Amino acid sequence: MGAFEQWSQTNLGQGHYLLGYTLVLVNHNWPLLFAVGLSLWWGTWLYQAPSRARVCWFFGALLFGFAYEYTKHIAPTLHASLDTVLGAELLWLNLPAHLLVGPLAQGLIFVAMTFFLGQGLWLEAGMPGLARVVVQAKRESK
């Protein structure tokens, strides 16, 4: 064990393990943590005063987090599964399936995310009156 590890274990106890795991977790998943933070922020604003712009910002942040997770974790697993399932018998389906799971799905997610973020920006900047239209429930008259 090195000098730093001995000092850390002596002075920090089990806290040095927790600190290390926290640093690795944040370094590994910062885009997802950013997307979750934005989703919570815009979700809170959306709940307090719903508007079209806030819905767009909220869904844009959710799609940003989903795009990150899809690219990092879901797509590689799907590619490996396709290689297993589409073995020697269905080899001709391998390339189209990989194109569907890889670039096509990632492109659709990116286009949807860009659309929602662009629509939110357009509603906030280009049409400020329309962005502030708050959805209200209809009151029944007696």
Per-residue pLDDT reduced to its tens digit, 87-128: 767 888 888 888 999 999 999 999 999 999 999 999 888 765
DSSP type of residue 73: I
Distance CA 75, CA 81 (A): 10
What's the pLDDT at 127?
65
Which residue range is the domain that position 85 belongs to?
Answer: 30-131
Residue at 56 is within a domain: yes
Distance CA 41, CA 38 (A): 5
Q: What are phi and psi of 51, to 5 degrees?
A: -150, 165
Distance CA 54, CA 128 (A): 12
Q: For residue 51, give the amino acid letter.
A: S
pTM attached to this predicted model: 0.72
- Where is 54: in which H helix or E strand? helix 52-69
Residue at 11 is within a domain: no
Residue at 139 is within a domain: no
Residue at 6 is within a domain: no
Q: What are phi and psi of 134, to 5 degrees?
A: -95, 135
Residue 33 has pLDDT above 60, yes or no: yes
Do the Cβ atoms of 61 and 112 come closer than 8 Å? no
Residue at 95 is within a domain: yes
Give the count of domains, the chain. 1
> Which of 103, 98, 71, 70 lies closest to 82 in space, CA to CA?
98
Residue 130 has pLDDT above 80, yes or no: no
Residue at 7 is within a domain: no
- Where is 92: in which H helix or E strand? none
How does residue 140 score in pLDDT terms, banded at 50, 70 and 90?
low
